[in-house]
Amino acid sequence: MILTIRGKSFDWGSRTYMMGVLNVTPDSFSDGGQFQTVNAAVDRAAKMVSSGVDIIDIGGESTKPGAIPVDVATELARVIPVITAIRQHREIRDIPISIDTTKSVVAQAAIAAGADIINDVSGGEFDNQMFATVAKLGVPYILMHMRGTPATMQQMTDYSDVIGEIIAFFETQIDRAIKSGIARSHLIIDPGIGFSKTYGQNIALIRQIDKFQILDLPLLVGVSRKSFIGKILNQPDPEQRLWGTAAACCASIAGGADILRVHDVVEMVDVSRVADVMFRSSIG
């Protein structure tokens, strides 16, 4: 199955694609405040494109544990100027952009400004207009698993079967999305590493990431710099978790991940190129 965005073909299963994180927020867990100005954000986007990124994921609201929600106006003021500036930049204007939002109003405005994909950490749970909006826009949609909200999610980790319950969630939401008019070929799933999961559950998810292939949809995995890596390494600084991230990305590719959402693009592009040769039979 091939998805084409801005002339770029995503041939799922052929290789691992890189989604680069561009947080235009003051409070994201790893790089909050670094790219708040439009110029800083565009410079960061340009560096990611030159490093081989396939998608830039722009977010204007932190979803770290305990994060405080922001209103629509604030989120729009953060993301729309950045999307517009990238689309006006001669060297990077054709890069596919995803908008990381749970709000249908923000999603619609971002697509109008030049974004291509909607990346919703709530999986359609926060905004009852999200699926209808995605269907109307006719764009790809990343459906992530999370319980509760960023403020409450780490108190909602009681699973009897973490893999089975996440798969059941996806089955329900995929059915809802398709009945709302979203094309199945536009759906991408993300099991939500670090979102309403304990340390042990995150490890279990990565070890068994291949089980999500039963859903027959492209799989996005976001492990970059996350706290379970910090616990393994005894490293409280997210920016010092580069090689731990590399190991978790490699494990994710071995399990069949199609997209990796990362902060350290240049290093993870190299990791994925080698891992693809090791774990994808069509390459090498």
* Residue extents of the structural domains in the chain: 2-279
Among 254, 255, 252, CA closest to 224: 252
Q: How confident is the model at residue 29 (pLDDT cuts 50, 70, 90)?
A: very low
Rg (CA), the chain: 17
- Enumerate the active-site residues: 226, 261
Instruction: Write down the pTM of the prediction.
Output: 0.94
Kindly indicate the confidence band of residue 34, based on its pLDDT and cuts at 50, 70 and 90. Answer: low
Instruction: List the CATH code of the domain at 2-279.
Output: 3.20.20.20
Give the model's confidence band at 69: pLDDT under 50 very low, under 70 low, under 90 confident, else very high: confident
Q: Return the SS3 of 284.
A: coil
CA nearest to 242, candidates 273, 257, 220, 263: 263
What pLDDT score does 47 carry? 96
Phi, psi of 2 (to 5 degrees): -115, 130
Decide which of 110 and 284 is more confident: 110
Q: Residue 150's pLDDT band (boundaries 50, 70, 90)?
A: confident
Is the pLDDT reported for residue 257 higher than 60? yes
**Average pLDDT value over all residues in the chain:** 94
The 3-state secondary structure of 90-103 reads: CCCCCCCEEEECCC
- Do residues 132 and 181 make contact, with C-beta atoms less than 8 angstroms apart? yes
DSSP-based three-state secondary structure for 172: helix
**pLDDT tier, 27 (very low <50, low <70, confident <90, very high otherwise):** low
Which residue type is seen at 21? V
* pLDDT band, residue 282 (cuts 50/70/90): low
pLDDT digits (tens, 9 = 90+) for 180-210: 999 999 999 999 999 999 999 999 999 999 9
| CA–CA dist 152, 258 (Å, integer) | 29
